[in-house]
Structure 1
Amino acid sequence: MKNNENCLIVFFLIVLGSSYNYGQGKPFSTKGWWGPGGPKFSPVVSVNNSITFRLKEPEATSVELHFGEWDVQKKGMVKDKNGNWTVTLDSVPPGIYQYNFLLNGHFRKLDPENPNIKAGTEVYGSIVEVPGDPARFDELQDVPHGDVHIINYRSKTLDRIRKMYVYVPKIYWVSPDKKFPVLYLRHGGGDNEGSWVNDGHANIILDNLINEGKARPMLIVMSNGLIDGSWASGSTVEGMKYLEEELFKDIIPLIEKRYHVSENKEDRAIAGLSMGGGQAVVIGLRNLDKFSYVGDFSAGILSDPEINMETYIPGLFNKSKRLNKSLELLWIACGSKDSRFEGHQQFAGQLENNGIDVEFHEGAYGHEWQFWREQLRNFSESLFKN
């Protein structure tokens, strides 16, 4: 037995020594690093707004491009002798687009050559943007840029550490005596607190608007609207109560302590998309002494005829005078291709029939980021005018 143990020790020493000598015998080299980079493989956006997609999958029997977040185009791709699959889309309008590949009819794959992805509670797809000429309102431009702060804080309401993003305009830092207004902006059920920056370009949109004088400089606070990671947790009556308490006990006090912002309701707005739009309407209309502007972009709970909004906002349709006096703006919006559209029309009509002032906005979109980016732009232009 002892001889066997000795043999094992000798064996491992030989292996370790060989590995060491192998590593020492391969000196580090930067040879080949200094040449120019090769052409981009995928996606390639041309000057005429065509997009070429490529995927190296030599073993695949078929590959199909699924392009778009709502009106999905399905395009078969062609394989060359090197195992590269290719397809080109012509004359794609400027904007943001989600896509992925379908291999062999059932396996979905992201573009491994593209680091830009749509991600929230899961990874949804790869992202490509077609630039505008002139630059789109949601494109990075040569204007004064604000900051995006990522803040970890203790949520006493939920008894855990949470995170929020805060957009601070450039002018904030040269105006120490000015009290800035704040927009509390909430994300959708499949998103997180970073989605309005990463996917929605909220900071870029505000930079451009402020530079053009179309929006008043404001801070945007983007906190997490989920409690247990599920959409339901941010949409139930109980979940709304927790999020409302967190907003007023943890988030707003922290913002008003850390930043020189106004504490007046006239300088506070709340809005959101999808799940967050429902949260904004419920929290905003339940707290008319806290907000003067409320915005919804495509909220699910406002669209479902089985949901009685009176369970979320008791007496909603019986307080038109108070609502109209307290709010500068109640903004309801939904894309006309979205399955939530009809419900939004009905909800807005119900508000109007009960004497509540409301602005209804739509666009030829589904449940997608291009619509929400446009709504954020338009809503922001209407804020804090008084």
Structure 2
Amino acid sequence: MMKKILFLLLSLVSCTILAQKPANTYSVQGWWGPASPPYSPVVENDKSIVFRFKAKSAKSVKLLFGEWDIKPVEMQKDTAGNWEIKIAPQKPGIYSYVFSVDGIQTLDPKNPVVKSGTELYGSIVEVPGDKARFDEIQNVPHGILQSIKYQSSALGKPRGMCIFLPAEYQTSPKQIFPVLYLRHGGGDNETSWSQSSGKADVILENLIAENKAKPMLIVMTNGLTDGSWAGGSSKEGVEQLEQELLKDVIPYVEKNYRVRADKKSRAIAGLSMGGGQAYLIGLKNPDKFSYIGEFSAGLLSDAKFDINERVPGAFANPAKLNKEISLLYLACGKEDPRYQGHLALDYDLKTKGINHEFHDSSGGHEWRFWREQLHNFMQKIF
């Protein structure tokens, strides 16, 4: 009897609880409206660009547009605290910019696309062309970008690298590929060549689709030993990076990927600090690399730079070196302070009888120039 009474009481309590539905005032009805128009940046049909920044209490906001020879331009403020400027039409390409808010450089808070490396350098705006650019994502077969962790025996710590596998790596399972070991600049890291700045993977995909470059893997490692330019350019630093590349990175790649393990299937290239690394490591190991590319390397432009301090006897036998290296590629922008040093380097190599190519064009120490040079270099290797 007691069990029946207890059961009835519990049932009454349960019914009472179920009868009291919790109040719910949550609503998604306001979510169904159209998306707000873009605030900043806005690329107009004529390729002019509108930039805006919200700062009611700011006394001055300036736009710093570009990566080279930047001239700050005052923005105008409306009554709601919106600062705005419209700049003239730009050539199709990828551009970096920041705002100066009362003298403090600030990223565009309305734009999630940024230029990054060892720090956040600026916001990125892309101006499309009437036809797709060589460094713009196109309707072509796309590959896979992987992020890999490995242990550096030279530095005694874990490191990261990015590896790009072309679409053919997935579609042609029996195919074996050559490898480009691509190095970044002093303010960058292993992601810089493949993210918003370098577009190396996009450039290669487009070239392969046009039958202008061989399908290849791109291996992008970290070229900093201690976070400083000096650590990635000093004699000791470059030697550590060389050992890391030869003892850790290349063996890892050749063990875990379908790649050819011979010098004719290896290229090494880089920009700025990474260009100096590629030049020195490549010349020191002509038995391991057939193609060497450097873009805008400051170290090589130094009037006091002596190749024999880093690679003793590198040019002692030009005929032998010319047989070993299929391509020695140099490049520098004409507005880059390193340009005169590159002209001198080009002259020295000519007088020594070292086969090489020297490429220049308008531009400073900037990604636009380096993307163009990588686009050219990739068509010449393998």
TM-score band by shorter chain is over 0.9
- Range with bigger deviation, 284-293 or 311-320: 311-320
Structure 1 residues 111, 26: closer, same or farther in 2, change over 3 A? Answer: farther
Match of 1:64 among 62, 65, 74: 62
Instruction: Give SS of 1:228's match.
Output: coil
Instruction: Give SS of 1:196's match.
Output: coil
Structure 1 residues 364, 25: closer, same or farther in 2, change over 3 A? Answer: farther
The equivalent of 1:374 in structure 2 is: 372
Structure 1 residues 247, 113: closer, same or farther in 2, change over 3 A? Answer: same
Structure 1 residues 306, 25: closer, same or farther in 2, change over 3 A? Answer: farther
Deviations 1:221-276 (A, max 9, x none): 00000111111111001111110000011000000011110011011000000000
The equivalent of 1:223 in structure 2 is: 221
For 2:149, the aligned partner's letter is N
The equivalent of 1:37 in structure 2 is: 35
For 1:236, the aligned partner's letter is S
Instruction: Give SS of 1:371's match.
Output: helix
Could you tell me how far 1:212 is from its partner in structure 2? Answer: 0.5
Partners of 2:188 and 2:328 lie apart in 1 by 24
Deviations 1:259-313 (A, max 9, x none): 1100110110000000000000000000000000000000011001122221111
List aligned pairs for 1:95-106, cutoff 5 A. Answer: 95-104=93-102, 106=103
**Structure with max Cα Rg:** 2
The equivalent of 1:53 in structure 2 is: 51
Structure 1 residues 179, 77: closer, same or farther in 2, change over 3 A? Answer: same
- Range with bigger deviation, 69-78 or 226-235: 69-78
Partners of 2:69 and 2:23 lie apart in 1 by 57
Instruction: Give SS of 2:194's match.
Output: helix
Instruction: Give SS of 2:336's match.
Output: coil
- Range with bigger deviation, 301-310 or 209-218: 301-310
Partners of 1:273 and 1:326 lie apart in 2 by 23
Instruction: Give SS of 1:344's match.
Output: helix
Match of 1:85 among 83, 86, 100: 83
Match of 1:186 among 170, 183, 187: 183
Partners of 2:146 and 2:157 lie apart in 1 by 20
Could you tell me how far 1:26 is from its partner in structure 2? Answer: 7.9
The equivalent of 1:330 in structure 2 is: 328
Q: Is the 8 A contact 2:315 2:321 kept in 1?
A: no
For 2:290, the aligned partner's letter is S
Question: TM-score, normalised on structure 2?
Answer: 0.92
Instruction: Give SS of 1:349's match.
Output: helix
Match of 1:144 among 141, 145, 161: 141
- Structure 1: segments with no counterpart, 5+ residues: 1-23
Match of 1:293 among 266, 291, 294: 291
For 1:140, the aligned partner's letter is I
Q: Is the 8 A contact 2:315 2:352 kept in 1?
A: yes
The equivalent of 1:9 in structure 2 is: none
The equivalent of 1:135 in structure 2 is: 132
Partners of 1:346 and 1:36 lie apart in 2 by 59
Match of 1:365 among 354, 363, 366: 363
Match of 1:317 among 303, 315, 333: 315
Match of 1:236 among 226, 231, 234: 234
List aligned pairs for 1:135-284, cutoff 5 A. Answer: 135-198=132-195, 199-284=197-282
Question: TM-score, normalised on structure 1?
Answer: 0.91
- Structure 2: segments with no counterpart, 5+ residues: 1-21
The equivalent of 2:26 in structure 1 is: 28
Instruction: Give SS of 1:350's match.
Output: helix
Deviations 1:311-343 (A, max 9, x none): 111112322112100011000000000000000
Partners of 2:168 and 2:345 lie apart in 1 by 39
